[in-house]
Structures are given as structure tokens and as C-alpha cells.
Amino acid sequence: MNYLAIDTSGKRLSVAARKGDTLVISDKPCLLQHSVLLMDEADALLSRANLTLSGCDFLACTVGPGSFTGIRIGISAVKGMAFGAEKPVLAVTSFDAVAYADAREKKIAAIDAGHGCVYAKGYGVPLEAGHYPVEEILRLAERYGVPILSADPLPFAEQADAARGLAACADANFAQAGDLNALCALYLRKSSAEEQR
């Protein structure tokens, strides 16, 4: 299985490239400059894995929730690469990238949404993907005795290696790769501009 996977949904830029048994991962803070850094980082990872886009079986991308602009950058880049290389695509949620990084069956994946809120989803816990006040997630985690995991440093959460989670999710779900329509942004709230309008 060969693939390129990217995550531009948060404050970090994560890229994973797999060629057979060789997996190379890059995960670095990017100060929300995904559009400036993404293509060079993808090229570097493909080179390190001795892989080309034409040699990929599919391309994977996180579709959110997270930074509205970051999500659009990642989806656009992967759609462009996949279209040019005629490859299928795999949509990965930010929640799955966090959850696949941790082997525990019961957990809550949380993504910083700012303003005292998080996007959260339960795994083995009855919590649908949504936009929640932090206090509500803390109460639920305490009630069920489960950890809260996050890709971003949050004072109430364990930090997960979402870059490795992204790769693990791609490894496990490659059969779900489909056409370009599979990459649709997952927004769980209105943008700030929409809210202020």
C-alpha cells in the first residue's frame, strides 16, 4: 500500500507518506501557514519515502473539523494532486486522526475550537461529533472515566500524536478511498463571518 496523507486542519502541518513497509512522517508547527509550506513538505516526504504521486494507490486528507481555511487548503491541494495523478482519495476526520493515535477503546477526541469550546466526538462513549463548551466535555469525560485526547496542547487533554494517527487511519481505511467527491469539508459550526452577519 502506497499513499500520501496530509493534515492542515490545525496549527500544525502533518504529512505522512507510505511506500510498502516504509512510513515517513513530518509533523511541525506552521503558524497557520499551510498554504506556504504544504507543497514543499509533501514533495520532501514523497522523496524520503522514494515515492511519486503516480506510485500512490490513493491520497488522504483530513476534512475537519478545525481551521476553516486550513481545511480548504488541504482539500484543494489533495484534490488537485489526485485529479492530476488520477488517484482515489480518502477523507479522514480530525477526530479519527486523534483517535487512531491511541489504542484505548473508550476516549473523547477533542479539537480546539477557541472561545472556551471544542469540537468533540466520543469513541466508546455516547457523544456525537459536535461543537461543545469545554465544561460539558470535562463533565462527560469524568462521568465515563475516559481520557480526552487532542492534537493541540490543551490544559485538560492528553496530547495525541495525530500525525501517526492520520497514518494509522489511512492504513486501516484504505479500502474506503473513492472519487474526489469523497473530500467534503466537515464544518460543525458557522464561520465567524457567518455568525457576525
Q: Does the pLDDT of residue 9 top 70, yes or no?
A: yes
Residue that wins the pLDDT comparison between 34 and 3: 3
Grade residue 31 by pLDDT with cuts at 50, 70 and 90.
confident
pLDDT value, residue 112: 94
**Fold agreement (2-94+162-184, 102-159):** no
Q: In what order do the strands lie in the sheet with 107-114?
A: 130-133, 117-123, 107-114, 148-150, 158-159
Residue 79 has pLDDT above 80, yes or no: yes
| Residue in 183, 156, 195 with CA at minimum distance from that of residue 62 | 183
Tell the residue number behind the cell numbers 481505511, with chain if given: 173
Question: What pLDDT score does 190 carry?
Answer: 73
CATH of domain 2-94+162-184: 3.30.420.40
Domain boundaries defined on the chain: 2-94+162-184, 102-159
In the prediction, which pLDDT does 35 show?
87
| Segment 101-106 mean pLDDT | 96
**Is pLDDT at 141 greater than 90 in this prediction?**
yes
- Which has more pLDDT, 58 or 34? 58
Confidence class for position 32, pLDDT limits 50, 70, 90: confident
pLDDT at 152: 87
CATH of 102-159 given 3.30.2390, 3.30.450, 3.30.43, 3.40.50: 3.30.2390
Residue 191 has pLDDT above 70, yes or no: no
Model confidence at 193, pLDDT cuts 50, 70, 90, reads low
For residue 71, the one-letter residue type is: I
Please, which residues have CB within 8 angstroms of residue 178's CB and are 6 or more apart in sequence?
88, 89, 90
Q: Which residue has the higher pLDDT, 195 or 33?
A: 33
pLDDT grade, residue 195 (50/70/90)?
low
Rounded Cα–Cα distance for residues 97 and 83 (Å): 24
| Band of pLDDT at residue 192, cut at 50, 70 and 90 | low
pLDDT of 194 over the 70 cut: no
